[in-house]
């Protein structure tokens, strides 16, 4: 618990006040990623290779934006920093460990943006949901990657809407659709990696639960797909495993 406490304290100090409520969940994810390093390795490697493949044929490599940059475990930072003049990382929280990586190995090319890209606030106000409109202000934008973010937009929105019965089923599909539409409408190359569904099974192989992580919105045709043991046996419980289906577009 000491590493988590240190990470939390250091991260809280450098996180804008409006986003500090998200630090604890980011630290919990950081701790889980360490525990599940072996089980998550293939998923992280697949995500990195898909992003690197997506940029391999770009003629211009000025600015790249990574949406949902998170812990950087699934982002090929070395390759992006080498390939682009500027790499912009966008997320709710950039932990102290991430900021340290940027300071030590970012070669002065990496910029951090702390931002909520879900579009939930606009949806609640009844306005037009344009979660990625801020990208219009990013100069010389040549590439955007949405990395393991899309399903979390829905999860986070449902959590916030728990006290608003019925609204989640209306708003979450709107947010998922808005993100996909925004990505497809960018004036540059974009790629998407996201989990789209999950299945919980016990040690005997019995299916205990299944779920759609895109709230009924049809996923775009994928170039690759794989399984990601988000909760391997022995993590939350020794009795079940949660396997997510991931697509790369």
Q: How far apart are CA 91 and CA 217, in angstroms?
A: 23
- How high is the mean pLDDT of the chain? 95
Q: How confident is the model at residue 174 (pLDDT cuts 50, 70, 90)?
A: very high
pTM for the model: 0.95
Average pLDDT over residues 153-168: 88
Domains of the chain in start order, with CATH, are 40-248 (3.40.50)
CB < 8 Å & 24+ apart, contacts of 239-244: 239/202, 239/203, 240/200, 240/201, 240/202, 240/203, 240/208, 241/200, 241/201, 242/198, 242/199, 242/200, 243/198, 243/199, 243/200, 243/201, 244/151, 244/195, 244/197, 244/198, 244/213
Residue burial 157-188, b: 16+ Cβ < 10 Å; e: rest: beebbeeeeebbeebbebbbbbbbebbeeeeb
Please say if the pLDDT value at position 158 is more than 80.
Answer: yes
């Amino acid at each position: 618990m000491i590493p988590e406490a240190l990470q939390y304290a250091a991260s809280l100090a450098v996180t804008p006040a409006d986003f500090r409520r998200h630090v604890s969940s980011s630290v919990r994810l950081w701790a889980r990623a360490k525990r599940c390093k072996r089980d998550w390795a293939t998923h992280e490697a697949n995500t990195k290779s898909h992003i690197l493949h997506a940029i391999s044929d770009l003629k211009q490599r000025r600015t790249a934006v990574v949406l949902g940059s998170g812990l950087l475990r699934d982002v090929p930072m070395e390759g992006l920093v080498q390939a682009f003049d500027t790499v912009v990382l966008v997320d709710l929280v950039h932990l102290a460990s991430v900021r340290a990586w940027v300071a030590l190995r970012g070669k002065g090319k990496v910029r951090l943006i702390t931002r909520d890209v879900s579009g939930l606030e606009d949806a609640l106000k009844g306005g037009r949901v344009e979660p990625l409109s801020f990208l219009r202000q990013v100069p010389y934008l040549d590439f955007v990657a949405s990395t393991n973010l899309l399903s979390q937009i829905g999860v986070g929105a449902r959590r916030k809407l728990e006290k608003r019965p019925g609204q989640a089923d209306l708003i979450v599909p709107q947010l998922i659709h808005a993100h996909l539409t925004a990505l497809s409408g960018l004036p540059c190359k974009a790629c998407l990696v996201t989990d789209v569904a999950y299945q919980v099974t016990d040690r005997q192989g019995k299916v205990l639960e299944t779920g759609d992580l895109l709230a009924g919105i049809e996923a775009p045709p994928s170039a690759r797909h794989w399984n990601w043991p988000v909760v391997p046996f022995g993590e939350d419980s020794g009795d079940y495993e949660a396997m997510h289906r991931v697509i790369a577009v």
